[in-house]
Amino acid sequence: MGDHVVTAAVPAGLPAGADDLSVWPASTTRLPDGDLAVGGVSLSELADRFDTPAYVLDEAEVRGRCRTYRDAFPDTDVLYAAKAFLSRAMVRWVREEGLGLDVCSAGELELAVTSGFPAERVVLHGNAKSPRDLEAALRLGVGRIVIDGPSEIARIAAAVGPGGRQKVMVRVVPGISAGGHDKIRTGTDDQKFGLSLADGSAQHAIARILGQPRLELTGLHCHIGSQITEVKPYLVALRRMVGLMARVHDAHGVALPELDLGGGHGIAYRPGEPVLDLTALARRLRAGLIESCAAAGLPVPRLAVEPGRAVAGPAGVALYRVLAVKRTGEKVFVAVDGGMSDNPRPALYGVRYAPRLIGRRSTAEPRTATVVGRHCEAGDILAADAELPGDIRPGDLLAVPVAGAYQLSMASGYNLVGRPPVIAVHEGTATTLMRRETLDDFRSRDIGG
Ligand code: LLP
């Protein structure tokens, strides 16, 4: 990853950085006439063949990112966070690359297991697990259930039934503020997830679980937030979690064998943005773990991490066609055929993307434009402050890199536009993973008329 094969010189007339492919999949190459190929397939050909909007997923990039994790974290369980993006092919790729899976619903769990993923390598999360979630977890034999609140202890034990025993972990809130946006910070006590370290509720829950013969407490879990680009908050979390493990050891004589530090590893959406250094994270976590366990007189637990975005995000590219261009005062609005129904992230978190004109070469001066969607609200923005050629016009194609995580998994049926297809590209071949959602799909659910 990172090094791109350059097949053509940077086109003359483009400002520095405008042709930067650093956030694109490693397989991306420049083709003549301003086109790009990903996974050996031309993006404008994909747009013609599958229509737009469409999402392209580079299999080699997903697999490469899984391998980067396996190499960086050799003695750690790496669980892919399915919420970032899940499909049957994704399940297979992640399984073949030796990762585990983090799921947070019966739906994600059933899809994974029915696609051949071993249930014992799956961890189930959720702050409000439904009866169906728990039923599926126990029926399919999920590896771990992460207890998120005190009421789950008796509920899960009752669901396990006499003679049964389920492996569980406890989600702890270590009191750390980290993450790219308020809505994705989960390490402090003012949000809905987990049990507080500070007020003793985590320790209290642990004591109750240890007294519950149908539950086997394998370890502790925390997930401090998402889109974190520094190692430091993870080290602070690690030390606090080991501190709690030491207190559990003192109070109950139990050395918990596992410590799951969640995901949240930050990536760049636009060239030049900071990225979490995974090698540094792995090295410093390992050193910090050994040191704090030695200081606490604890055996070193097995670590787990749960990356979602950093596996799937950079492997995806969204393709749109420009439908309208409007100039109002100082602003240029470039409206495309998708929008917040396929990518609600800018509207929710104010995230910035770097769309790029593909399929024709423009020599026009770049202008700052706002790329908007086709939905009926003003907040339907896909890319604020995008640098696009000044002659952008209806019919042009835009490609948005880093579109693989939390876009389609959060897509909606707003305005009955329908969710785009997902096309896997690999070694010059394009395969449909998910077809486009059609009016017939909407009609078939609408059975009340
Ligand atoms: N583990 C747990 C328990 C989580 O809740 C999450 C994400 C992850 C792992 C994976 O985090 P990642 O490595 O992907 O950052 N929709 C938001 C992100 C929400 C993250 C929710 N939990 C976004 O689009 O930025």
Q: Which CATH number belongs to the domain containing residue 375 in this structure?
A: 2.40.37.10
pLDDT at 375 exceeding the cut of 90? yes
Residue 1 belongs to a domain: no
Give the pLDDT band (50/70/90) at residue 164: very high
In this structure, are 177 and 125 located in the same domain?
Answer: yes
Residue range of the domain that includes 261: 73-307
Residue 6: per-residue pLDDT: 35
In this structure, are 285 and 246 located in the same domain?
Answer: yes
Q: How far apart are CA 326 and CA 381, in angstroms?
A: 14
Residue 417 belongs to a domain: yes
pLDDT (tens digit, 9 = 90+) per residue, 79-120? 999 999 999 999 999 999 999 999 999 999 999 999 999 999
In this structure, are 171 and 103 located in the same domain?
Answer: yes
Q: Tell me the best of 127, 267, 306, 352 to mutate to test the pocket of ligand 1, counting ligand atoms within 8 Å of each CB and taking the most.
A: 306
Question: What are the Cα distances from residue 419, in Å, to 217, 343, 394?
Answer: 40, 10, 22
In this structure, are 142 and 290 located in the same domain?
Answer: yes
Residue 16 belongs to a domain: no
In this structure, are 42 and 103 located in the same domain?
Answer: no
How many Å lie between the centroid of ligand 1 and the Cα of residue 194?
Answer: 14
Which tokens is 164 given?
Answer: 């049964």
In this structure, are 226 and 353 located in the same domain?
Answer: no
65 in the Ramachandran plot: left (φ > 0), alpha (ψ -120 to 50) or beta?
A: alpha
Residue 8: per-residue pLDDT: 38
pLDDT (tens digit, 9 = 90+) per residue, 169-203? 999 999 998 887 888 788 888 889 999 999 999 99
Partner residues linked to 169 by β-bridges: 146, 219
In this structure, are 419 and 390 located in the same domain?
Answer: yes
Residue 189: per-residue pLDDT: 82
Q: What integer best gives the mean pLDDT of the chain?
A: 95
- Going by CA atoms, what residue is nearest to atom 12 of ligand 1? 264
Q: How far apart are CA 21 and CA 6, in angstroms?
A: 9
Q: Residue 142 maps to which CATH number?
A: 3.20.20.10
Residue 21 belongs to a domain: no
Closest CA to 425 of 47, 111, 70, 96: 47
pLDDT at 346 exceeding the cut of 80? yes
329 in the Ramachandran plot: left (φ > 0), alpha (ψ -120 to 50) or beta?
A: left
Q: How far apart are CA 375 and CA 377, in angstroms?
A: 6
pLDDT (tens digit, 9 = 90+) per residue, 236-269? 999 999 999 999 999 999 999 999 999 999 999 9
Q: Which of 307, 332, 363 is the last residue of a domain?
A: 307
pLDDT (tens digit, 9 = 90+) per residue, 377-420? 999 999 999 999 999 999 999 999 999 999 999 999 999 999 99
Residue 398 belongs to a domain: yes
Whether ligand 1 lies within 6 angstroms of the CB of 309 is answered as: yes
Stated as kind and residue range, the H or E segment containing 237 is helix 232-252
Percentage of the chain lying above the pLDDT 90 cut: 92
Per the annotation, the verdict on 66 as an active-site residue is no
In this structure, are 170 and 242 located in the same domain?
Answer: yes
Q: How far apart are CA 84 and CA 425, in angstroms?
A: 19
Give the pLDDT band (50/70/90) at residue 18: low
Which tokens is 7 given?
Answer: 């097949």
CA-atom Rg of the chain in angstroms: 23
Closest CA to 359 of 74, 123, 52: 52
How many Å lie between the centroid of ligand 1 and the Cα of residue 329?
Answer: 39
pLDDT at 58 exceeding the cut of 50? yes
Q: How far apart are CA 198 and CA 176, in angstroms?
A: 11
Q: Tell me the best of 78, 193, 309, 410 to mutate to test the pocket of ligand 1, counting ligand atoms within 8 Å of each CB and taking the most.
A: 309
Residue 17: per-residue pLDDT: 55
How many Å lie between the centroid of ligand 1 and the Cα of residue 265?
Answer: 9
Q: Which of 267, 288, 307 is the last residue of a domain?
A: 307
In this structure, are 350 and 379 located in the same domain?
Answer: yes
Q: How far apart are CA 38 and CA 25, in angstroms?
A: 7
Indicate the burial class of 298 (C-beta count within 10 angstroms; 0-12, 13-18, 19 or more). middle
Stated as kind and residue range, the H or E segment containing 152 is helix 151-160
Whether ligand 1 lies within 6 angstroms of the CB of 349 is answered as: yes
Residue 416 belongs to a domain: yes
Q: Which of 258, 285, 307 is the last residue of a domain?
A: 307
In this structure, are 259 and 167 located in the same domain?
Answer: yes
Q: Domain total for the chain? A: 2
- Degrees to nearest 5, angle at CA 131 with 128 and 133: 70
Pairing mode of beta strands 100-103, 122-124? parallel
How many Å lie between the centroid of ligand 1 and the Cα of residue 106?
Answer: 17
Closest CA to 435 of 54, 108, 39: 54
* Torsion of the alpha carbons at 12, 361, 41 and 319, rounded to the nearest 10: 120
* Residue tagged active-site, from 104, 222, 293, 376: 376
In this structure, are 180 and 291 located in the same domain?
Answer: yes
Residue 166 belongs to a domain: yes
What single string gives the DSSP state of each residue in 367-419? Answer: EEEEEE-SSSSTT-EEEEEEEEETT--TT-EEEEES-SSSSGGG---GGG--P
pLDDT (tens digit, 9 = 90+) per residue, 210-245? 999 999 999 999 999 999 999 999 999 999 999 999
In this structure, are 193 and 296 located in the same domain?
Answer: yes
Residue 22 belongs to a domain: no
pLDDT (tens digit, 9 = 90+) per residue, 61-82? 999 999 999 999 999 999 999 9
